[in-house]
Amino acid sequence: MSTGGGPRLLLRRLREIMAEQTSAQTRLDKLVSVIAANMVAEVCSIYLRRAGKVLELFATEGLRPDAVHQTRLKEGEGLVGLVAETAEAVNLSDAPSDPRFSYRPETGEDPYKTFLGVPIVRGGQVFGVLAIQNRAERLYAEEEVEALQTVAMVLAEVVAQGGFFNIAELDEPELRVDRPRKFLGEGLSEGVAVGPVVLHEPRVKVEKMIADNPAEELVRLEAAISALRDSVDGMLSSSELDLTGEGREVIEAYRLFAYDQGWRQRMRDAVRTGLTAEAAVERVQDETRLRVQRLGDPILRERAHDLDDLARRLLRHLTGDDHDRMLPQGAVLVARGMGPAELLDYGRDILGALVLEEAASTSHVAIVARSMGLPMVASLEGLADSARGGNLLAVDGETGEVHLRPATEIVKAFEEKRALRVQAQARFAAVRDLPAVTRDGVPIKLMMNAGLEFDMPQLDKSGADGIGLFRTELQFMIGETMPRLADQTAFYKKIIDAAGDRPVVFRTLDLGGDKVLPYARWEREENPALGWRAIRIALDRPALLRYQVRALLTASAGRTLRILLPMVSDVDEFNRARALIDRELERARLLNLVRPQQVLVGAMLEVPALAFMLPQLMRSADFVSIGSNDLLSLAFAVDRTNPRVAKRYDNLNPASLTLIRLIVQSAAENSGELSLCGEMAGRPLDAMALLGLGLRTLSMSPGQIGPIKMMIRSLHLGEVSAFVDRLCNRTDHSLRTRLAAFAAERGIVLK
């Protein structure tokens, strides 16, 4: 059986009903009648969600009329509840025999066997269920399911316009708009702010759902996608954004989504079903969001935020809505979730803080917030619903404390804390040019992380001793083609010239995982973080490494070149990679090219197995750099991007410190040069522990160097070392509290 008049005829009829100047209930009643006739169904029913996650029968054709507004099902109850719970279509030929079937005598549905239910979705949330039924036993065809899903999407807009989802109906005291509320979340970017709430409402209202001319809609869609891609490319070339390090890397990854052909094709297919370009974008994004939510994968959830962002931006290109808004100075941006590019659209000068219901410390938007110096707190369930535009919000990005509509005393306390932070920033600036030397005379090297040319001015501004980690892969991720040898050489030379006499450690391409090239073919892996990446790619594709090394050798002519090999698992991998570097050195000699005065090759210790091979490694490597993020994540078998498990380990766990102490001791016994880069290096308390373990070189984001230098100049390293050594024998989950108490007793500056 096929749909009576085809999906486009049905959509046109729905549009006519939507335009009628009647009550929402009357329109719903007409809609179920038209849908039933078009789908050749004996029953068509609309269930909408009410307070307490209850699904109420709002309209029906075929069931008893007096069951409307009387029949209610809890989420998960019956087949209708199953559709709402799973956000997936349920298609059955004999519904009453299914164990999930819930019989409701008041509906009079006894004769009906066939059941097809689809979720009514708006903005990634299930607001109800659209169901059709027939007496004859049969499964609905795939095109019929597709047609009903398209109708459900249009229906979601009708329902929303009808005002059925009035939050006042929930009658929950905690939702009163005048009540002060305190939330405790996770601080993801330090800083304190007090300012008016600005709700991030990027959803563009789609006025027209049904296409008059699908061919014209396809043209509009293609033009908007092209404009979207141009705008994302513009972010990368803009000098105003001043993205550095990980922030730049995030936008590069975001750009890959904009060029994804699968995403584009799904939207084209949706247009061909009879939807406008705008409606097609919304439908594809709602389906993607629900699919990701069901999988529960935190990495995919972060990717879904990026795709949400892209979809909203694409809608603005389609509608001509540039989303410009006049924001109050110091505004606190509040949202359920958002992508990094959306945050950049607001700019760093106007915002005071960012507050999200969903985000992890390694999420893309958190990385960009930190690079913007914007206080940020996340994991605040219910805040977006409770906050109103203009409400005052006090935010502490360090403790994760957020006060909505705070009392005067709370505002005063936050203002005082913010003033103290401003004073601290002035102190950091005052020590910029002073040496990082402990009170008992031990010098510490503080290096900065970088990845692009415009990172280099931060070298002077931060007072760093050099570049401890330069991420070379960012240059490869910017363009649509592989950088030519001449381009690589010129780029590396600019970096070396900008550093002057200060050292620069160039990490070779760390590709793979979530860092893929837009012009390369990559096979999907079940666990990309442990798959084909970094040095493994270099050894399987040696020309790629030799090509990059050749550029580095030429750019470093007459100077010292430092090369760092990422993700080394064993000594053999390092030796094979070094042999490729030596071949390039020999080639330069044979061609009488000007070579570097010295070439130092190091290994990045991110894989725990390598820690047990340091004596052998030190015979081949000139230096070793601990990548603490990956090393500890792998050591504890914890995915740092997964909120469920990310807090199950702490960097200051005795096992973490013991592992790092073993590495430090092994390096010292073999006279090896050792450093550490990673999140630990930029946190004063963590860095204090690292120094106590024996590390003397740390690399971090440029903005973290001031606080770390203040901490170093305030401590007696001998005392710290003795205390940390004793702590390694404890069994605490975290030593953070004990270390903080020690620092407070000794007057060590941590803020």
**DSSP per-residue letters across 477-530:** HHSSSPPPHHHHHHHHHHHHHHHTTS-EEEEPP--BTTB--TTS-----SSGGG
Q: Which of 681, 691, 175 is nearest to 438 (CA)?
A: 691
Quote the CA–CA distance of 624 and 474 in Å, as a whole number. 22
Return contacts of 295-304, CB within 8 angstroms, 24+ apart.
Answer: 298/360, 298/639, 298/641, 298/642, 298/643, 298/644, 299/514, 299/639, 299/641, 299/642, 301/358, 302/360, 302/363, 302/364, 302/641, 303/257
**Across the strands, what pairs with 505?**
562
Quote the CA–CA distance of 289 and 170 in Å, as a whole number. 25
Quote the CA–CA distance of 376 and 368 in Å, as a whole number. 10
Quote the CA–CA distance of 621 and 603 in Å, as a whole number. 7
| Maximal C-alpha separation, the chain | 94
Give the torsion through C-alpha atoms of 473, 530, 379, 200, to 10 deg: 40
The sheet with strand 43-50 has its strands ordered as 72-74, 54-61, 43-50, 125-134, 114-122, 90-92
The residues, ordered by sequence, that sit 6+ positions from 303 with a Cβ below 8 Å of its Cβ are 257, 292
Q: Which of 211, 295, 192 is nearest to 15 (CA)?
A: 211
Helices (H), 670-735: 684-693, 705-713, 717-727
The helices-and-strands tally (H runs, E runs) of the chain is: 27, 22
What DSSP element (H or E) covers 586? helix 571-590
| Helix 214-237 vs helix 261-272: crossing angle, to nearest 10 | 160
Quote the CA–CA distance of 180 and 173 in Å, as a whole number. 12
Which one-letter DSSP state was computed for residue 139? P
Quote the CA–CA distance of 24 and 30 in Å, as a whole number. 10
By CB neighbour count within 10 A (0-12 exposed, 13-18 middle, 19+ buried), where does 130 fall? buried
CA distances 432 to 57, 408, 463, 747, Å, are 67, 37, 5, 20
From the list 200, 305, 317, 364, the catalytic residue is 364
Output the six-digit token pair for 37: 């006739």
From the list 305, 317, 403, 677, the catalytic residue is 677
What DSSP element (H or E) covers 225? helix 214-237
Quote the CA–CA distance of 696 and 465 in Å, as a whole number. 12
3-state DSSP call for residue 683? coil
Measured in degrees and rounded to the nearest 5, phi and psi for residue 542 equal -60, -30
3-state DSSP call for residue 463? coil
Quote the CA–CA distance of 741 and 628 in Å, as a whole number. 24
Q: Which of 100, 47, 105 is nearest to 72 (CA)?
A: 47
Active-site residue, 677 included: yes
Quote the CA–CA distance of 507 and 510 in Å, as a whole number. 8
**DSSP per-residue letters across 317-368:** HHHT--------TTEEEEES---HHHHHHH-TTTEEEEEESS--TTSHHHHH
Give the chain's end-to-end CA distance (angstroms, integer): 71
The residues, ordered by sequence, that sit 6+ positions from 672 with a Cβ below 8 Å of its Cβ are 614, 617, 618, 621, 623, 624, 666
**Across the strands, what pairs with 627?**
677
Q: What residues act catalytically?
A: 364, 677
